[in-house]
Amino acid sequence: MSEEKISLAGGCFWCVEAVYLQIPGVLGVQSGYMGGHTENPSYKDICTGTTGHAEIIEITYDPELLTLKEIFDVFWRSHDPTTLNRQGNDQGTQYRSAIFTYNEEQKVAALASREEAQAFFEDPIVTEISDAAHFYPAEEYHHNYYQQNKSQPYCQMIISPKLKKLGLTP
């Protein structure tokens, strides 16, 4: 079994994590922060919108079981990549749409995928595609948030419907 990593930002990391934990071929998902200038940011720091970091998930996957194309297809369907620094009621640069790549092959695939996905959106896609930077893991209580808090109102109103829409088991 081989492993690769890709990091994605598509709004609140609780939502993105819940989606990718349901995808066969995903070996692990870790919530965290990337793309900013503050070292060792905390969730409180991220919420100020001044760190430059996005809430992201770092996905470890088996490329023999799950292709980048499949990962990106889920990404484009699981959030609105046409809204700048916002997903639903979550607003700020920490909620931006972004793909952080770890090698040239991933970057080329991400750029091609973004171009292909544009056909499905009336407004321009604003998703940032950048080289992966230092990954800062989120605080422990953010990990596997949906599975541990399914009855929480945010999970019931935002995450569960998203999983159902994507045909994933909530």
Q: Where are the domains of the chain?
A: 4-165
CATH architecture assignment, domain 4-165: 2-Layer Sandwich (3.30)
- Residue-wise pLDDT tens digits, 60-116: 999 999 999 999 999 999 999 999 999 989 999 999 999 999 999 999 999 999 999
Q: What is the dihedral of CA 74, 78, 83, 87, to 10 degrees?
A: -140
Contact indicator for 128, 96 with CB cutoff of 8 Å: yes
Question: 12 catalytic, yes or no?
Answer: yes
Largest CA distance in the chain: 41
Q: What is the pTM of this model?
A: 0.96
- Residue-wise pLDDT tens digits, 69-84: 999 999 999 999 999 9
CB-neighbour burial class of residue 68 (10 A; exposed 0-12, middle 13-18, buried 19+): buried
Structure tokens at 44: 């409180």
Phi, psi of 80 (to 5 degrees): -100, 100
Name the DSSP class of 156.
I
Catalytically annotated residue among 12, 15, 47, 155: 12
Structure tokens at 6: 């890709």
